[in-house]
Amino acid sequence: MAIPLTGQIINLCASLLLLIAFAMLSQRRILSLINLFALQGLVLSVSTAVVAYSSHQHHLYFSAALTLVLKVIVLPAILHRLIRRLNVRWDVETMFNIPTTMLIGIALVVFAFNLAAPISQMAGTITKSTLGIALACVLLSFLMMITRSKAVPQVVGFLSMENGLFFAATSATYGMPMVVELGIALDVLIGMFILGIFFFQIRAAFDSLDLRHMEKLKED
């Protein structure tokens, strides 16, 4: 059975998202990481718009626009501003082992595809084959948060996890109800502001944004 053009574009976007997730996993430089995050948002927005076009779900155009504004423009702009003001623009993460991380990442993708397989069978949407990729993106972002020891990359991982979840919502169900989507966007935005304040507090107390200083609270 031939896949229609829109379906092919969506599959292309899905594979791009997975690729970007792996790129983020292996990116040591903070600045490039933020750019990758913006790119991920852009691909997400395009794929949402294509889903909207092919399925005639008009509220998805709105989600696509929301994604474009929030995740391609606003959040990366805030992050850029933050790293400039915190002077961590050229920071490079040194501690983690890229090959091992990538191998674990591949294992996670296989796991995600297996987990999503029974659900994808039931999805009636044009995008059903992408649910596995969405879950893989979520798990890869999770892995990224675990492997990083600096505050900004952890937050980028957190935001990209939200991107993966959003992709899951559009690919499995044509998007959540509007009121919920707006609420989630609001939470993400407020969360970002709070984190911004938080970074400055952390730096004032520790003189750095390296989270390895913050391992004092442990059970003896």
By CB under 8 A, name the binding residues for another protein.
57, 115, 118-119, 122-124, 135, 138, 142, 145, 151, 154, 158, 161-162, 165, 168-169, 172-174, 176-180, 183-184, 186-187, 190-191, 194-195, 197-198, 201-202, 204-206, 211, 213-217, 219-220
Could you tell me the smallest distance in angstroms from the CB atom of residue 123 to another protein?
Answer: 7
Pick between residue 7 and residue 164 the one whose CB is nearest to another protein.
164
Report helix, strand or coil for 85: helix
Closer CB to another protein, residue 27 or residue 125? 125
Show Cβ contacts of residue 3 under 8 Å, excluding neighbours closer than 6 positions. Answer: 11
Minimum distance from residue 153 beta carbon to another protein (Å): 12
Tell me the closest approach of the beta carbon of residue 85 to another protein, in angstroms: 18
Nearer to another protein, 59 or 80 (CB): 59
β-partners of residue 29 are 92
> CB of 2: closest distance to another protein in angstroms?
26
Q: Is-contact 133 13, C-beta < 8 A?
A: no
Cβ-based neighbours of 217, under 8 Å, separated by 6 or more? none
What separation, in Å, do the N-terminal and C-terminal C-alpha atoms of the chain show? Answer: 61
Coil, strand or helix at 91: coil
- Residue 35 or 173: the one with the smaller Cβ distance to another protein is 173
Closest to another protein by CB, 1 or 204: 204
CB of 182 to another protein, least distance (A): 9
Contacts of 134 (CB under 8 A, 6+ apart): 14, 17, 116, 164, 165, 167, 168, 171, 172
